[in-house]
Amino acid sequence: MTRIDNNAVSVRGLVKHYGDTKALDGVDLDVRQGTVMGVLGPNGAGKTTLVRILSTLLKPDAGEATVAGYDVLRQPRQLRRVIGLTGQYASVDEKLPGWENLYMIGRLLDLPRKDARARADELLERFSLTEAAKRPASTYSGGMRRRLDLAASMIGRPQVLFLDEPTTGLDPRTRNEVWAEVKAMVGDGVTVLLTTQYMEEAEQLASELTVVDRGKVIANGRVEELKAKVGGRTLRVRPVDPLQVRPLADMIDELGITGLAGTTVDGENGTLLVPILSDEQLTAVVGAVTARGITISSISTELPSLDEVFLSLTGHRASAPQDARSADDRQEVAV
Ligand SMILES: Nc1ncnc2c1ncn2[C@@H]1O[C@H](COP(=O)(O)OP(=O)(O)O)[C@@H](O)[C@H]1O
Ligand SMILES: [Mg+2]
């Protein structure tokens, strides 16, 4: 494929079958230089297969792909020199100390000893692991391990970084730490293709999204565009007095805010759910609630779960039903 654009990653008609399973069924994708593309999809959607093909670990059955201008099939050696990869499953050697892991990878990438040493020191510092440098990676916490993985993927100063579900299995705090690191890496100018099962993660890190399901791209666009399609957020309001839920619902419905979908009362939890499409609507609803003088014990916004995104985009539930919404997807808002 000749390079006709400025995209860091360019994919056309990519197909990969495993027997009867169509892991990738004609995928097109472009990632602009210096941006973060989120590839969002449930388990089994084909995300890892895509990353493995783009990092030359796997050959496609059909289609074309380039990374940093290098063809995955014809220029795999040049391609590997300009990418970094962090897999869903960690790649560091448990028995070795963090520093040794990074030094060894540097040497594998043909860095001279002195440079490999300097790079290991620099990246441990960069990912706040200097104090743990001499300890075997097996003694690291989950977050430290993931940071060591990120550091390892950065040794070769990649132009394009593949992060395959970088925070799956991490607790919310550790997930936030990893997000901060990824954001800093993007600030340094690296292009990132990140796969995730979490809408929240995609929203935190990616500027553009490609939603995949059963090997096919079912939607793509900027995060805001996709969210708008899905219907924005849900505002969850809980009055101190559960008897106030119903009057509150009527009051909000009567506000007549243009485009505001109807409220839902969750009687069991004594909460009111208000689907909102914009920050202006959020402000208007919160303002009205406050003006009414009803005492509120909690108020929060929730992003649509991946399942809701799927339902909205495809009309069917994600093939493996799951609840991607977790406690940390709820953001408190000031009243
Ligand atoms: N080595 C393999 N052999 C057979 N089937 C596979 C293999 N790898 C992946 N698959 C199948 O291909 C589909 C896509 O898998 P994968 O790319 O791992 O999805 P994801 O990373 O989105 O969870 C799944 O149905 C999976 O079971
Ligand atoms: Mg995977």
The domain locations on the chain are 7-227, 233-302
With a 6 Å cutoff on the Cβ, whether 46 touches ligand 1 is yes
Q: How far apart are the C-alpha atoms of 264 and 257, rounded to whole Å?
A: 16
49 in contact with ligand 1, CB cutoff 6 A: yes
Q: State the closest ligand 1 atom to the C-alpha of 42, by its place in the atom list counted from 1.
A: 22
Q: State how far the Cα of 61 lies from the Cα of 56, in Å rounded to an integer.
A: 13
* Location of structure tokens 């230089």: 33
Output the six-digit token pair for 54: 């783009």
Of 92, 102, 109, the residue nearest 125 (C-alpha): 102
233-302 is classed CATH 3.30.428.10? no
Q: Are strands 233-239 and 296-302 parallel, antiparallel or unpaired?
A: antiparallel
pLDDT for 318 equals: 66
44 within ligand 1 shell (Cβ under 6 A): yes
pLDDT of 331 higher than 70: no
Are 136 and 85 spatial neighbours (Cβ–Cβ below 8 Å)? no
Q: What is the mean pLDDT of the chain?
A: 86
Q: At what angle do helices 142-154 and 98-108 cross, to 10 degrees?
A: 20
pLDDT digits (tens, 9 = 90+) for 62-90: 999 999 999 999 999 999 989 999 865 55
* Identical topology for domains 7-227 and 233-302: no
With cut-offs at 50, 70 and 90, classify the pLDDT of residue 56: very high
Nearest Cα residue to 230 out of 288, 168, 306, 164 = 306
Ligand 1 touching residue 38 (CB < 6 A): no
Q: What span, in angstroms and rounded, lies between the C-alpha atoms of 25 and 68?
A: 23
Model confidence over 256-311: pLDDT tens digits? 776 666 788 887 889 998 888 788 888 988 888 888 888 999 999 887 776 777 77
State which fold the 7-227 domain adopts: Rossmann fold (3.40.50)
- Whether 164 shows a pLDDT value over 60: the answer reads yes
Stated as kind and residue range, the H or E segment containing 114 is helix 113-126
Nearest ligand 1 atom to alpha carbon 41: 22
pLDDT of 24 reads 98
Nearest ligand (C-alpha, residue 87): 2
The verdict on the CB of residue 89 being under 6 Å from ligand 1 is no
Report whether pLDDT(329) > 60: no
Q: Which atom of ligand 1 is nearest to the CA of 49?
A: 17
**Beta pairing partners, 221:** 209
Provide CB contacts within 8 A for 154, sequence distance 6+: 84, 123, 126, 161, 185
* Residue among 14, 15, 21 whose CB has most ligand 1 atoms within 8 A, to mutate: 21
Task: Pull the structure tokens for residue 6.
Answer: 């400025």
Output the pLDDT for position 261: 64
Q: b/e string for 92-109 if b means 16 or more Cβ within 10 A?
A: beeeebbbbbbbbbbbee
